[in-house]
Amino acid sequence: MTHRNAERIKALIENDKLPWQAADQPYLEGLTDERLVAFEEAAKPVQVTDVDADAAAAGAGAQTETANTETPAAEAAAARAATPKPKSEAEWLAEAPASLRDMVSRQQRADVARRTSLVGLLKDAANGAYTETELTAMPLDQLERLAKVARAAVPEVDYAGLGSGLSSDQAEVIEAPKPWDLALARRKGTAA
């Protein structure tokens, strides 16, 4: 038993402009007639009007009608050639404002310092599991996670700037009131 749209589906599969293959036949058989018509419309060659032909001849010289029926691969290659190549980091930084360049350079210096410190800590904590070259090749975020796991990045506590509650030149030492003093003062009526 043949499908009612077998010839249309066969034409869609054989068309080079469409991505369908023989393995897609069961899928295509399940589509509605409207959807098959849409695929057939997409596969039709582009018709060149007189206005388009005049504009193309004026802009790029004389073209033949065969040039308008390019293959999809040629069209994709032309589109890739027309898209600009993304800029490298150095090119982008050269065009960036000075404030951004300064911010990026500060962050890069901080990253290098942090990486150097983490590699030193992890090299000591790894007990030969990682070499210095392996650690240096790892991205910074991976080094941070590895340091957390190894508990190697626990910063030493810095007590600088912490002072006591009382200064050493304080003449009078203030003592906290004792509970019985408060009880006696309450009896006398002098407690607040």
Whether 126 has a pLDDT exceeding 90, the answer reads: no
| pLDDT tens-digit series, residues 13-53 | 888 877 888 888 888 888 888 888 887 887 776 655 555 55
Q: How far is CA 116 from each of CA 13, 91, 93, 112, 153, rounded to the nearest angstrom?
A: 59, 27, 24, 6, 12
pLDDT, residue 66, reads 47
Task: State the pLDDT at residue 59.
Answer: 53
Greater model confidence, 139 or 3: 139
Check if the beta carbon of residue 35 is closer than 8 Å to that of residue 61.
no
User: Which of the 8 DSSP states describes residue 15?
Assistant: -
pLDDT, tens digit (0-9, with 9 covering 90-100), for 135-177: 889 998 998 888 888 776 556 666 666 665 555 565 566 677 6
- pLDDT tier at 189, thresholds 50, 70, 90: confident
> Could you report the per-residue pLDDT of 65-124, keeping only the tens digit for each?
444 555 667 777 677 667 777 888 888 888 888 898 899 999 999 999 999 888 888 887
What span, in angstroms and rounded, lies between the C-alpha atoms of 5 and 27?
Answer: 12
Amino acid letter, residue 180: W
d(CA 131, CA 54) in angstroms, rounded, equals 68
Please tell me the pTM assigned to this model: 0.37
